[in-house]
Structure formats: structure tokens, C-alpha cells
Structure 1
Amino acid sequence: MLDEDGSLDPFLKFLLYIVLVLAAGKMLWEWMTGTVARWITVDLWGLVAAHPWWTSVVVIGFFAVLFLLARLAGAVLDAVGAPAVPGEEVTWAEPDPAPLTYRMRQLEAMSPTGFEHACAELLARDGFLHPRRVGGSGDLGADVIANDADGLTIVVQCKQLNRPVSSPAVQQFNGTARPEHGADHAIIIGLNGFTQPALDFASRHHLITVGREDLRRWAHGAHLYDVIRARTML
């Protein structure tokens, strides 16, 4: 029922909303046509007919209280919105925006270029410096390059494949990440994971693989280095 992002399946969520709306509507209709209708047509009307003068006093008093409350609320709002010092404008601090996150289904729906941009944005969220997408024709295996706070160069290849990344693809990245791009940390991201030969090759050549579960944690808000350190000696 729940997907890997922890969200209810959209179709099941729609059906649940329909059931809840129908149930609430039925209860409201029964209440309106039963209890409320009788109270208005019998009890309240009988009270008004029996005590017209007292009813008028209560109604006038009710509206007078509403008027006074409205004036009081306006005065409070004016006081809150007034400058703290005459002639000095009060500035309100904007709340911190929520950190950037992605759902896995969002990453799956992106184009390859969009996926690379998303990885660059996640690096920026984590505080990496100058993250830039360099993927494209002639990129020599690098899709995103950034620097961490210590000045180390991060070279990332983003594989948005509908299958696990194979060993030849990892070998090709290994041949360019350090010699061509000067990577201190060579990271390859596989939306749908890696084959075992690819993982074995990456381990032997000190390449960092970010499989589907690691990517999910990163996209959901964990720092990339925290995700990687959980299983490597970065």
C-alpha cells in the first residue's frame, strides 16, 4: 500500500478520500434533516414566538458583542503591525525554506538531463560549492562536478537507467573520473542500482556507488557524505 517514499498509493488515496467524503456527507445530511431541522422549525421558533421581546434583546446584544470584538481585533492588528519605533519600519524575518527533497517517483519521471540537474541541486542543498552540470556530448564520463568545504573535487556520473548499472559502464567512468577530471571522490549514481560485477569493480578501484536505497535517503534529505559514510570509509 505504501511506496518506497512512504506515501500511500495515489489510487488507493483517491478511493479513501471518496469513501470519507461520502461517509461525512451522509452523516451531515442526516444531522441537517433530523436534529438541526427540528431545532430550527420547532424548538427555536417556539422560543421566539413565546418570548419575542427577550429574543430581540438577545439578538441585539449578540450583534453588539460581535461589533466590539471586531473593533478589538482591528486594534490588536494595528498594534502588531505598527513600527516598534516611530518612523522606523519593522521588518519580519522570513521563515527558513524547507530543504530540497525529491521523491523517487519524481526522479524516475525526469529526463536524463533533468536527473543530472536534480543531483546538482541536491549537492547544492548539502553545501557543496559550485555544483555544475557538465554532462552532454563529450563529457568524458562526468555529469556533475562540485567541490566540498575542504576543496576536494567531487565528480558524479548520473545513471537514470531502468536496469542496474553494468560493470562496463563503471569501468568507463573509472577511466576518466580521476585522469580527466581530477576527482578526489568519484561517485556514480544508479537509479536502479548496480550489478554485482559492477559493485566488485567499483570496490577494487575505490569508486563510490550510490544505489537506489542510498539515492532514496539522499533525495529524502540526508547529506550525501552521511549516506556514503554509512557503508564506506570516505
Structure 2
Amino acid sequence: MFDEDGSLDPFLKFLLYAVLALGAGKMLWEWMTGTVIRWITVDLWGAVAAHPWWTVLIVIGFLAVLFLLARLADTALDLLATPVVAGVDATSVEPEPALLTYRMKQLEAMSPTGFEHACAELLSRDGFLHARRVGGSGDLGADVIATDADGLTIVVQCKQLNRPVNSPAMQQFNGTARPEHGADHAVIIGLNGFTQPALDFASRHRLITIGHEDLKRWAHGTHLYDVIRARTTP
């Protein structure tokens, strides 16, 4: 009768529920055929036949109340669905465009060219002008170039390496960023960070390094300059 865990056998449980359902159904059927049908066919119909005009007026009034309640419900739902922001109807306000962001896994899965395009798009998101990818054969160390709101040129080299950027790569970028591309801000991005000698060289030559954590904050929505300021401010 009972399973090992103490619960009732499923078949017996089904039979028990079936008996209960049949008993409840029989009681409901007797009540419907005995009381409810008699009330509808005798009492209610008798009242309607005795007072037809009053019945019509009551039905019309009842329908009118239902109609008014339905209209009030629709109005209330419209008000709830239309928020007001600072006294202005929200339906008249243009929605804010979605902020461009990337997850680190997305950046890691991109091709080197796709990574450079993503960096250019993030610069455009931050309000830099004419952000464009220029990387490729003969790029002389510049992968992305843009101009900020003050007219300063930012030159970016994007290193999507599976190891930290080393000092020779930093020296090569330093040799071209300003002389060849006129960089006011020379930025090198290392997806997996930088070696200590590379960081030391960058510090001596005013190169801006964006390592893994800085790149994560930038990709998640923080302005590039805010990322740089947050890291360099004591």
C-alpha cells in the first residue's frame, strides 16, 4: 500500500482521488438539478414574468454599470502603463540609445581585426571624433586613431595577445606614435596586461597603458579618460 519512503502507492492514490471526485461531482449535480434549476425556472422566471418592465430596466442598468466599470478599468490601466517623468508624458520622450558595452569573453574571442574595430567603436561611444581603424600592413604601430573633444589626437595600439605585452613592443610603439602619427595621447591596450619592464618603459616615455582590468572597466561602460584618471589619481 505504501512505498519505501512512506508515501501512498500511486495507483491507490489515483483511485482515492477518483472516488472523491465522483462524490463531489454527484453532490454538485444534485444541487444543480434540484435547487439551482428550480430557482431559475420557477422563482426567477416568475419574478421576470410578473414584472417585465422592471426586469428590463434592471438589466439595462446592470449592463450600464458593467460598461462604466470596464471603461474605468481601461483608463486606470492606461495611466499605470504611461509613467510621467518630471511632469512630462513619458510617451513623448525619445528613449535613450543603449550604451555600447562588451564582455571580456567577447573581446577575447574576437579576431585581432575585430578587436581593433571594437576599440574604435568604444572610442566613438565615448564621444571621440573620427574614430577609425587604421591597423594592418604598414600601419607603423597605429591600430586606431581618433580625436577628442579638445582636438587632441589619440593613437591606440591594440594588443590582443595571450601573454603580457613586453618591453620591445612598447619601444616600437613609442618610436612611431608621436613622430609618425602626431599622437597627443599614445595609448597601448594589452588584453592580458604588460610585463614590468614594459610598464617601466611606458612610465618613462608618457605612454598610457590599458591592461586587463582597465580594459574591463572601459568595455563595461566607463569613459576611457575616466579609466585613465581613476588609475593615475592617488
By how many angstroms is 1:50 displaced? 3.5
CA offsets per residue over residues 153-198 of structure 1, 9 Å max, x none? 1100000000000111110000010011111100000000000110
Unmatched segments (≥5 aa) in structure 1: 1-29, 58-63, 81-90
The residue aligned with 1:200 is 200
State whether structure 2 residue 25 is matched by structure 1 residue 45. Answer: yes
1:44–1:153 Cα change, 3 Å: farther
**Residue number in structure 2 paired with 1:114:** 114
- Matched residue, 1:189: 189
Q: Deviations over 1:113-166 (max 9, x none)?
A: 000010011111111111111111111111111111111111000000000001
RMSD: 3.6
Q: TM-score, structure 1 length as denominator?
A: 0.67
> Aligned to 2:150, what secondary structure does the other structure show?
coil
Partner of 1:17: none
Instruction: Give the distance between the partners of 1:69 and 1:172, measured in 2 at CA.
Output: 78
Question: CA–CA distance in 1 between the matches of 2:23 and 2:121?
Answer: 64
How far did 1:96 drift? 1.4
1:136 and 1:52, CA in 2 relative to 1: closer, same or farther beyond 3 A?
same
**Higher Cα radius of gyration:** 2
Aligned residues: 184
* Local SS of the residue matching 2:232: coil
1:49 partner amino acid: W
Q: 1:41 to 1:216 in 2, by over 3 A?
A: same
2:50 corresponding residue in structure 1? none
TM-score (norm 2): 0.67
Identity %: 71
Seen in structure 2, the aligned counterparts of structure 1 residues 50 and 97 have a Cα distance that, compared at 3 Å, is farther
CA distance in 2, matches of 1:140, 1:211: 22
